[in-house]
Amino acid sequence: MTKLDRTDTEIQFDSGDSFCAATVYRPAGPGPHPMIVMGHGLGSVRQMRMPAYAERFVAAGYSCLLFDYRHFGGSGGVPRQLLDIDRQLQDWTSAVEFARTLPGVDSDRIVLWGTSFGGGHVLVTAARDPRIAAVIAQCPFVDGPSSARASNRVSAAKVTVRAVRDLIAARRGRPPVMVASAGRPGDAALMAAPDCYDGYLHLVPEGVPFENQVAARFGWHITMHRPIKDAPKIVAPTFFAICANDTVAPAVAAQRAAAATPRGEARLYNVGHFDIYVGDAFERAIMDQIAFLQLHVPTGTLA
């Protein structure tokens, strides 16, 4: 491990056929502390505003593990920019298993925090692991058909064409055909509402290597992905931070998922999908999330 100037540590852990790059944040004191395992959304990397959340969680007494999915960011995996749902869910399982082995971590108080597409992943992961202590799903993608109905039709048609080309390329052993993660209305992009392009790229810190594209085959699989089906199986208390004006992960679907979760609770914010990461919306969301954690996985430390 390489020690950094702050309270974080750059590490990696094994997952499947490769590894995930990660950052561990630790609060002061010997612990054991609860650990929040944190993963991002569609095509994103851990530097995209996740440290801002982690720093506030650490101030409240929680350790945090932020990781990149395989094929993205600092993680291994080829081809690059391959967004495979099953592989990402495997990365979540690997991250949780790794977190439980870390010194100073209470292995019985592991919390899942996922945003956007990762917000759906945490629901599936928690449904599979009854030891999870609590879950936070922020602007979560919970229902592929609902998101498909809300998408720009011209963009969706263009993505479908590229997805078919990419599936054919994969069968022939050729490099992936790419599609933009975020674009403007009418672009061949997975997210193409008016607020997507600027909102998404605004989250990328200056100087962080980043590619606004993924293998297009994902456009075929995303419409059939439905984490909402796993919500009734979750035994942990689960907080849904829902954006009322969400153009990517419709609020109505997220509210249905919250209602279907046995110990689910929801908070609605009058903002768009990308607004919750910054400014006043971020401040409201992070305070609500810390209050939820202190209630269900208390540390005795106030933020």
* pLDDT digits (tens), the chain, 303 positions: 223 334 579 999 999 999 999 999 999 888 899 999 999 999 999 999 999 999 999 999 999 999 999 999 999 999 999 999 999 999 999 999 999 999 999 999 999 999 999 999 999 999 999 999 999 999 999 999 999 888 889 999 999 999 999 999 999 999 999 999 999 999 999 999 999 999 999 999 999 999 999 999 999 889 899 999 999 999 999 999 999 999 999 999 999 999 999 999 999 999 999 999 999 999 999 999 999 999 999 996 554
Cβ(191)–Cβ(183) under 8 Å? yes
pLDDT at 300: 67
Decide the pairing of beta strands 18-25 and 8-15: antiparallel
Q: Are 141 and 117 in contact (CB under 8 A)?
A: yes
- Asked if 132 and 112 touch (Cβ cutoff 8 Å), the reply is yes
How many other β-carbons are positioned within 10 Å of the β-carbon of residue 247? Answer: 20
The pLDDT assigned to 6 comes to: 42
- For domain 2-147+225-296, give the fold: Rossmann fold (3.40.50)
User: Cα–Cα distance between 30 and 39 in angstroms, integer?
Assistant: 25
Give the pLDDT of residue 29: 84
The residue ranges of every structural domain in the chain are 2-147+225-296
Any idea of the CA torsion for 20, 122, 138, 152, to the nearest 10 degrees? 90
Pairwise CA distance, residues 201 & 165, whole Å: 26
Q: CA 13 to CA 83: how far, in whole Å?
A: 19
Alpha carbons within 13 A on the beta-carbon side of 113: 25
Q: Whole-angstrom Cα distance, residue 146 to residue 182?
A: 18
Q: Name the residue type at position 121.
A: H
